[in-house]
Amino acid sequence: MFQPAITGSGVFTPDQVITNDELVESFNAYADKMNAQNADAIAAGDMDPVPHSSSEFIFKASGIEQRHVLDKSGVLDPDVMHPLLRQRGDDEPGVMTEMAVDACTKALTQAGLEGSDIDLVICAASNMERAYPAVAIEIQQDLGAQGFAFDMNVACSSATFGIQAAADMVRSGSVRRAIVVNPEICSGHLEWRDRDCHFIFGDVATATVIERSEDAKGDYFEIISTRCATKFSNNIRNNLGFLRRSRPDGVDDRRDMQFMQNGRKVFKEVVPMVSAHMLSHLEAEGVSDVRRLWLHQANKSMNDFIGKKVMGRTPETGEQPNILQDYANTSSAGSIIAFSKFSDDLQPGEYGMICSFGAGYSVGSVLVRRH
Ligand SMILES: CC(C)(COP(=O)(O)OP(=O)(O)OC[C@H]1O[C@@H](n2cnc3c(N)ncnc32)[C@H](O)[C@@H]1OP(=O)(O)O)[C@@H](O)C(=O)NCCC(=O)NCCS
C-alpha cells in the first residue's frame, strides 16, 4: 500500500464575467418581452406574468455576486438566453477538453510534473459534452498522458468521488500518478429563463494531481481518507437523456431537460446530511481540530450552517473560505477552487477537509493533512 497525496491543483477561469446587475437587467428585459407577447393570455388569467428578478434577492438568498461564463453574449440576449458556443469539428479538441487541459497544466506545473508522468485521467463532472468517446480520453491524449482514462458523473460531488477513486488506485498501486479534472460548463444546463434559478451557476474547470507521497517533488497534502455517500432524491434533477427521441412528445427543449431544483428542500435536507457525514468522518479518524473546510459552493448560508456544526463554533475568517461570491455555484469544481486558492497557508500537521454535495443526493469528503 502507498500513501496517496495531493501534490498539485489548478483552476481554469473563463474571462467573461456576468454581474448580478447585468444578469437581472437582461432577465427583466426577457420577462417584459414575454409579458408583452402574452398580454392577452395574462389579462384573461390563462397565464401568469413572468416576474422580475432582483440583484438584492440573489445576493441575500445565495451570497453570489457574479459568475464567470464561456459566453455571455447569448446568455444576456433576451432573444437567446443560453450560451452560444461554436460547433467544433470532430478533429478539434472539445470545449470541455480545452478548459480541462488548461486546469491540468496548472496542476501539473504545481506538482512539478509533465502530462506524460500521469497514468490515470478521470474527467469527473456534472455533464459530458458528448456520449462517447469519453472526454477523459481526449484529455489524456492532449496532455500526452499514459495509462487509461474514464469519465464519471456524480453531479456536484463528482470531484470528491473522483478523488476517492484515484486515491484508492494510487494507494493500491494500480496507478502511479492520477489527475482528476472537473470541467463544468454549468451555463449549458442552467435554465436562464427561470427566475428561481437563473442566478445560480457559473463555468470553470479544476484539476487535482494525486500521486504517492514518496514521489512528491514539493509541498503536498496527504490524503488521510475519503468517504462517499448517496441517498436518492428528486429535488435536484435534469431529465435530458439519450432516450429523449424515443419519448412520445419528441420535444428536446422541455423545462425538465435543464437543471431543476426545489432549493428550499435541498437546503433543509442537505445541511444536516452533510454536517453528520463530515462529523462522522472526522470522528472515525479521531480528528477533533480540523483547521480548514473547503466546502461545495452553492449557498453562503448553507456553508455557514455546515461550518458552524462541524467546527462546533462559528469558523473564523479564512477557516471556511467561500469563493461563490466570485464564481457562483460551479457544481463539482467549487470545493476544489476553494482548496486550490486557500490551502497554501496551512501548517505541517494541520488537517483540512474538502467536502462536496448535491444532486443524488450525494456527499463526498476528503480528509487531508498538510505535510
Ligand atoms: C436557490 C436558493 C438560493 C433560493 O433561496 P430561497 O430563500 O430558498 O428562496 P425561494 O426559492 O424559497 O424564494 C423565496 C421568494 O423569493 C422569490 N424569488 C425567487 N427567485 C427570485 C429572484 N431571482 N428575484 C426575486 N425574487 C425571487 C420567490 O418567488 C419566493 O417568493 P414568495 O415568498 O413570494 O413565494 C436556495 O434555496 C438555495 O441555495 N438552496 C440550496 C440549493 C443547493 O444547494 N443546490 C445544490 C445545487 S448543485
What distance lies between CA 229 and its chain's CA centroid?
Answer: 17
Which residues form the pocket of ligand 1, taking CB atoms under 6 Å from any ligand atom?
53-54, 57-58, 61-62, 156, 195-196, 199, 236, 261, 263-264, 266-267, 298-299, 302, 329, 358-359
pLDDT tens by residue, 140-183: 999 999 999 999 999 999 999 999 999 999 999 999 999 999 99
**259-262 CB contacts, 8 Å cutoff, 24+ apart:** 259/186, 259/189, 259/190, 259/191, 259/197, 259/200, 259/201, 260/191, 260/197, 260/236, 261/197, 261/235, 261/236, 261/237, 262/235, 262/236
How many angstroms separate the CA atoms of 109 and 9, rounded?
A: 9
**Alpha-carbon distances, residue 233 vs 25, 153, 270 (angstroms):** 34, 16, 10
Nearest CA to ligand 1 atom 1: 263
Q: How many angstroms is it from 8 CA to the middle of ligand 1?
A: 36
Q: How many residues make up the chain in this entry?
A: 371
Q: Whose CA is nearest to atom 46 of ligand 1?
A: 358
Closest by CA position to 4, among listed 155, 142, 179, 264: 179
**Alpha-carbon gap, residue 1 to 85, rounded angstroms:** 45
Place of cell 514518496: 214
Vertex 31 angle, CA 28 and 33, to 5°: 110
Task: Give average pLDDT by consecutive 10-residue segment, the chain, 371 residues.
Answer: 98 98 98 97 96 98 98 98 96 97 98 98 97 98 98 98 98 98 98 97 98 97 98 96 83 88 95 98 97 97 97 94 98 98 97 97 98 97
Instruction: Choose, from 104, 123, 156, 355, the residue flagged as catalytic.
Output: 156
> Domain 222-370 is in which class?
alpha beta
208 strand-pairing partners: 9, 180
- Alpha carbon dihedral 305, 311, 313, 319, in 10-degree steps, equals -90
Its pTM stands at: 0.96
Verify whether residue 156 is a known catalytic residue: yes
Helix (H) or strand (E) segment spanning residue 261: strand 260-261
| Strand partners for 222 | 5, 369
- Radius of gyration of the chain from its Cα atoms, rounded to whole angstroms: 21
Q: Which residue from 50, 236, 264, 302 has its CB within 8 A of the most atoms of ligand 1, so it is best to mutate?
A: 264
Q: How far is CA 160 from CA 97, 125, 192, 257, 357, in A?
A: 20, 10, 27, 25, 9
Residue nearest to atom 20 of ligand 1 (CA): 196
Residue with cell 438568498: 61
pLDDT in tens, 66-88: 999 999 999 999 999 999 999 99
Rounded to the nearest 5 percent, the helix, strand and coil shares of the chain are 40, 20, 40
DSSP string, 35-80: HHHTHHHHHTTSSPPPPPP-HHHHHHHH---EEEES-HHHHH-TTT
Whole-number Å distance between alpha carbons of 288 and 311: 9
Helical packing angle, 158-172 and 334-341, nearest 10°: 70
Closest C-alpha residue for ligand 1 atom 12: 264
**Are 187 and 12 a contacting pair, CB within 8 Å?**
no
CA gap 198, 53 in Å, rounded = 9
What is the distance in angstroms between the CA of the first residue and the CA of the last residue of the chain?
19
